[in-house]
Amino acid sequence: MAGLYIHIPFCRSKCAYCDFFSLSISSLLKTRPGIIDDYCHAVENEFILRKAELIGPIETIYIGGGTPTVIPVKSLTRFLSGIKEAVEAHNANYRKQEGADDYIKEFTVEANPEDISHGLLGRLQETGVNRISIGIQSFDDCQLKAVRRRHNSIASIEALTALRDSGINYSADLIYGLPGQSTGSWESQLNILMGFEPPHFSAYLLSFEPGTQLNFMKEKGSISETDDTTVNAMYKILTSTAGKHGYHHYEISNFSKPGQEAKHNSSYWDLTPYLGLGCGAHSFDGNIRRINPNNVAKYIASLTRDCPEPLAAIDAETRINKINDYIITSLRTSRGISTSFIREKWGEPAASIILQNLQRLSVNGQLITTEGHNYRIPENKWLTSDSVLREIILDDE
């Protein structure tokens, strides 16, 4: 099985913490009114050119960004329908071989609260979308303003109400460690979200990435990072609240009701192949990682019918890099790391060295074993997992 990720690099405005590639749609439309349809057409062409990189049917589709729902509804639904049809045509070859009726089990679109309405949800569901990922981040208007989010708490409540009423599967994002956020405020944010009982939610610790507005504000001294003591208290509140409401903490930042784990995102953590289309998108065919450059005009020009020229560049990973990628991603999950998987994929010498490190760390409680004989980091130590990872990852050859 495989996944398909499509990056839509358009936003109404850039959030202060965001380090993903995105551009203001209003300024782009002034200079190139047809850029949205041109970009969507280029993505469709890229899929035609690169789908052979995936050996097997596509099980999940994820439309991220940016903000996909800034695209006008008519253009968005036309694009989503076209992508689903293209994926189904690709999957038909495998359906004949394996006798399956359909492979697309999850079709997710990211959205901001101000874009959500009953009408939009209905139109998206008509195209085959069966899951929404919504960026709430906070229910406190001052905190939202501090990180330059466009929506307010009322829009978040209305969007969550519409999602709940529609019956569609969805996930909601929250951020902790926001400027001016106390432990009491964070607990309040969680309790508001728990009132909606979303099938899935993500809670991210605010990070100050180089090049972001947030990091610039920190360097200028206008805001400061939340101290470690408060962050640790917030994390304890998070895990305790999620547990009380029946959520499974299956990845450091992700929580789900039973059976509602994010299928697409989980593929990133278990080395399932996925194809990334659009500017800045990453791909992984099971062995090689590729990345598309961040240049919308060049991307569109290179993928016209007259001059198809895929831009994906190979990320030159060493064998040790690949093993370490697996170690880092697997130890972010409750499933943990499998030495038998390492042995099968990279051989006994690597597995033996890693197993020794795992066993040593399990003696002092930094790691625990699972029923499947994997090793994982205990939930109460996930925030400090870097110190554990440094003891396990291999030195490059």
Could you tell me what percent of the chain has a pLDDT over 70? Answer: 96
Task: Tell me which residue range forms the domain holding 142.
Answer: 2-171+256-269
Q: What is the mean pLDDT of residues 181-199?
A: 97
Mean pLDDT, all residues of the chain: 92
C-alpha 85 chain-centroid distance? 23
Residue 177 has phi, psi (to 5 degrees) of 85, 20
- Write down the pLDDT at residue 152: 95
In a domain, 216, yes or no: no
For residues 64 and 140, membership in a common domain is answered with: yes
Q: Is the pLDDT of residue 172 over 90?
A: yes
> Angle 123-128-131 (CA atoms, 0-180°, nearest 5)?
85
- Confirm whether pTM is higher than 0.75: yes
Q: What is the mean pLDDT of residues 272-299?
A: 92
HEC per residue, 39-101: HHHHHHHHHHHHHHHCCCCEEEEEEEECCHHHCCHHHHHHHHHHHHHHHHHHHHHHHHHHCCC
In a domain, 198, yes or no: no
Burial of 344 (0-12, 13-18, 19+ CB in 10 A): exposed
Q: Is the pLDDT of residue 309 over 70?
A: no
For residues 264 and 366, membership in a common domain is answered with: no
Joined tokens for residue 241: 């609240």
Q: How many domains is the chain partitioned into structurally?
A: 2
Of these ranges, 7-21, 198-212, 285-299, 304-318, the one predicted with the greatest mean pLDDT is: 198-212
For residues 331 and 263, membership in a common domain is answered with: no
- Write down the pLDDT at residue 76: 97
- State the DSSP string of 248-278: EEEETTEEESTT---HHHHHHHTT--EEEES
Q: Is the pLDDT of residue 307 over 70?
A: no
**pLDDT band with cut points at 50, 70 and 90 for residue 106:** very high
In a domain, 143, yes or no: yes
Q: What is the mean pLDDT of residues 3-32?
A: 88
